Amino acid sequence: APPPLPPPPPLPHRVASKPRGPNIGGGAAAAVASSPIRRAGAFDNAIPEYASYVDKAKRRGTPPKDLGVLKRTINEQSIDADPVTFSGLRGCDGKPNCFSTTGDSLLEDRILTGVDTLISPWRPPADDPAPFKTLASAVKEYKPGQSFIDGGGFAVVKETDSYLYVQFEALKKGYIDDVEFAMAGGREQGIQVRSSSRVGQTDFGVNAIRLNAIAASLRAKGWAIDEITPKTHQDYFYAADDARDQTFDKDRRKGTEMENGRMDRPAIG
């Protein structure tokens, strides 16, 4: 018999933190905390197939305590970069299920806690008189179920002139992702962005797919936004592909290169 296939290269290890309650403090964040809690059923814009799963057990998870625009400090543990404190969104925890414009300046510092999840701020064109309204409209026009994700729909939890908090739900198990946008400085600093899963080690590529879809609609209006690709975030995409390859849920492979094939894993000997 041929020798067994070796396991995939190990991903950076990180111990998952305990679930935290939805207490959100400070500025726009405090306003989120005072928002009404969503009803138990599907979001209003869930795709029709959601009816087949509405009675199934859900794993919605708990949002971090510190969502919203708060004082953040980066580079605190860096040897070569000075600490910087600013008002902004939460960073990521190093797991391949999140992207944020908040993160340490140097790649070598970011990967100490896991995979690189830093993205650049989204920059509106100079001729857009109300860029945050343009952004909010693009988010609200997002189509649930596109690229086989977010079939449970989405809902705006909090919206102000400079902050937007949206929750997106997975079709089958009800996973909730927290997505935030903020204009914490002048427009020349761009829009801060964070999209993150609450539970699990990997997101099967969902956060990248979602942000890329919203970004594409804004690029058509002249916005400057970097696409999230395997070249920009190699470890994140490896983790997503590895999870798709090993899952028993074939729907996780829909629309990907592994829908009709599997990962090539090196043989020993």
The pLDDT assigned to 21 comes to: 37
For residue 3, the 8-state DSSP code is P
DSSP string for 216-239:
HHHHTTT-B-PPP-TTTSHHHHHH
Q: Round to whole Å and give the CA distance between 69 and 181.
A: 9
Residue 248's contacts (CB-CB under 8 Å, 6 or more residues apart) are none
CA distance readout (Å), 13 to 7, 75, 94, 97, 157:
15, 20, 9, 14, 32
The pLDDT assigned to 269 comes to: 55
- 108 CB neighbour count, 10 Å cutoff: 12
The pLDDT assigned to 186 comes to: 82
- pTM summary value: 0.80
- pLDDT, tens digit only, all 269 positions of the chain: 544 444 444 443 333 333 333 334 444 444 344 333 333 456 999 999 999 998 999 999 999 999 999 999 999 999 999 999 999 999 999 999 999 999 999 999 999 999 999 999 999 999 999 999 999 999 999 999 999 999 999 999 999 999 999 999 999 999 999 999 999 888 889 999 999 999 999 999 999 999 999 999 999 999 999 999 999 999 999 999 998 888 756 666 676 766 666 666 666 65
The pLDDT assigned to 187 comes to: 84
Q: Is the dihedral of CA 79, 85, 86, 90 positive or negative?
A: positive
The pLDDT assigned to 10 comes to: 45
